[in-house]
Chain A
Amino acid sequence: MKRKLVLGVLLAVSVFVLGSVAFAHTPLCYCYLNGDGTITCEGGFSDGSSASGVEMAVKDTNDKVLVEGKMDELSEFTFEKPEVPFIVIFNAGPGHVVEIKGEDIKE
């Protein structure tokens, strides 16, 4: 019984520690117009680590997914600019989500 408790605590601590090692930094995402009807978003973390593989989604104002994908090996994600109002979601896990409104994406 006591052993189980200790194991449980250890497990919880290790999950916490490992979890915070992976994301002990701020997620960052920045999008810009390419001038050819497409948008490129770049992502990363404040410690300089790559965002490669992070889930990306483009949704309309009714939460409908318009485009889905992942950050490529250069931590970039390019998509065609939707014709309706939209939001870009950089999803690196709970507490590490960045949302960018389509209207804020310029140049």
Chain B
Amino acid sequence: MGGGRAINSKERNGMILKRATKVLLTSLMVCLFALPASAHFQMLYTPESALNKGGNLDFKLVFTHPFEAGHTMTMGQPESLYVVHKGNKTDLIKEINPIIWTSLTNSGKAYNLKYRLKGMGDYVFCFVPSPYFEAQEDAYIQQMTKVIVNVAGIPTDWDSEMGLPAEIVPLDKPYALWTGNVFRGIVKSEGKSVPYAEIEVEYLNHEPIMNENKFAKEAHVEAPQDAFVTMTIKADEKGCFTFGIPRSGWWGFAALGVGPKTTYQDKELSQDAIIWVQARDMK
């Protein structure tokens, strides 16, 4: 047996345990570090934001990870939902109905909204969900979400401030963007701009299938690395940000933790401001 030392069973067991612990720790670390790659986004999705005429619109209110069509969170009873058109506010909270939305990995409670648009101009839809408890972060998330739909090209309300506690005010029409345009916005907290706000940007990479309440399996693009799944950008000293849009489709912008409330039910709360924009190819 050469000069090798004999290993007794007690030593051997100890080595196995050590190795197993190491493997376990490593996988736990991978798990922890892999999590933040994809971000939570409140969706207020409708297929078309620039319409030639009015008519019935279908919205899906889903709290999910849009780039990967990943884990869809179960939503609580929303706090408020309304639309502003030519300065007039219409409450829509009673118009929503619960649905089950299916992601590529699970299903979660979501809502739909049917709304009839009449007349030209901008319709600014504002949605405030109830705070969602994210157990992994031991904190609540509340994403105040804006989507702007336009009928027949006339601008009326798109650049108005809606007065949400956390809000992104657009500087470019979110419904009139060509692929390659930039989208600019100002991050606001109770009407005051938020210097150097951190903004997560994510592409809606899986087509929502409206009549089946699920995401399409096929992805539009593949990210070369995790930093491209949720892109993190910063606002400047005036709270303004600019993002060049590389591809047609819907893009979500989430300014994190900019709202005034920081606690909810004795836990940390992040009030985020979300806006969705839609770009089209020149063809």
Q: Which residues of A contact B (CB under 8 A)?
A: 26, 28, 30, 32, 40, 42, 44-48, 106-107
Q: Give CA–CA (A95, B153) in the complex, Å.
A: 18
Residues of B within 8 A of A26 (CB): 153
Chain B residues within 8 Å of A45, by CB: 154
On whether the beta carbons of A47 and B155 are closer than 8 Å, the reply is yes
Q: B156 near A48 (CB under 8 angstroms)?
A: yes
B55 touches A30 (CB 8 A): no
* Centre residue among A26, A40, A42, A47 by max chain B CB count within 10 A: A42
Pairs across A and B, CB under 8 Å, 7 listed? A28-B152, A28-B153, A30-B119, A32-B118, A44-B120, A46-B154, A106-B53
* B54: interface (CB < 8 Å): yes
CB distance B53 to A48 under 8 Å? no
Choice from B55, B119, B154 contacting A28 with Cβ under 8 Å: B154
Contact of B155 among A42, A46, A106 (CB under 8 A): A46
Known pairs A42-B119, A42-B120, A44-B120; A32 contacts B155 (CB<8 A): no
A48 near B118: Cβ-Cβ < 8 Å: no
Bound CA span A48–B120, Å: 11
B56, closest chain A residue (CB): A107
Question: How far, in angstroms, from A41 to B156 measured CA to CA in the complex?
Answer: 16
A28 and B120 within 8 A (CB)? yes
Bound CA span A26–B153, Å: 10
Q: Lowest 5 A-B CB distances belong to which pairs? A: A30-B152, A30-B120, A44-B154, A48-B155, A42-B120
B39 at interface, CB cutoff 8 A: no
B240 within 8 A of A: no
How many whole Å from A67's CB to the nearest CB in chain B?
20
CB contacts (< 8 Å) of A48 on chain B: these are 154-156
Q: Given the complex of chains A and B, what is the CA–CA distance between A97 and B120 in angstroms? A: 18
Within 8 A of A (CB), among B137-156: 151-156
B54 CB contact (under 8 Å) in A28, A47, A107? A107
Please give, as numbers and ranges, the residues of chain B lying within 8 Å of A46 by CB-CB distance: 153-155
Chain A positions within 8 Å of B55 at CB level: 107
Shortest Cβ distance from residue A96 to the other chain B in the assembled complex, whole angstroms: 14
Assembly CA distance A30 to B118 (angstroms): 10
List CB contacts (< 8 Å) of B32-66 with chain A. Answer: 53-55
Q: CA–CA, A29 to B234, complex, Å?
A: 40
What residues on B are CB-neighbors of A44 within 8 Å?
120-121, 154, 156
Q: Provide the bound-state CA to CA distance between A46 and B120, in Å.
A: 12
- Residues 150-172 of B, flagged 1 when their CB comes within 8 A of A and 0 if not, give 01111110000000000000000
Give the distance to chain B from A31, nearest Cβ to Cβ, in Å: 9
Shortest Cβ distance from B158 into chain A, in angstroms?
Answer: 9
- Give B158's nearest chain A residue, CB to CB: A48
A107 touching B120, Cβ below 8 Å:
no
B4 smallest CB distance to A (angstroms): 86
Known: A42-B119, A106-B53, A107-B54. A30 touches B155 (CB 8 A): no
Question: What's the Cα separation between A40 and B156 when bound, in Å?
Answer: 18
Closest to B52 in A: A30
Chain A residues, CB < 8 A from B151 = 30
B232-283, CB < 8 A from A:
none
Smallest beta-carbon distance A26→chain B, Å = 8
Nearest residue in A to B157 (C-beta to C-beta)? A48
User: Nearest Cβ in chain B — how far from A71, in angstroms?
Assistant: 12
**A5 CA to B120 CA, complexed, in Å:** 47
Contact call B54/A32, Cβ cutoff below 8 A: yes
Minimum CB–CB distance for B122 against chain A, Å: 9
In the complex, what distance in Å separates the CA atom of A30 from the CA atom of B54? 10
Whole-angstrom CA separation of A44 from B119 in the bound complex: 12
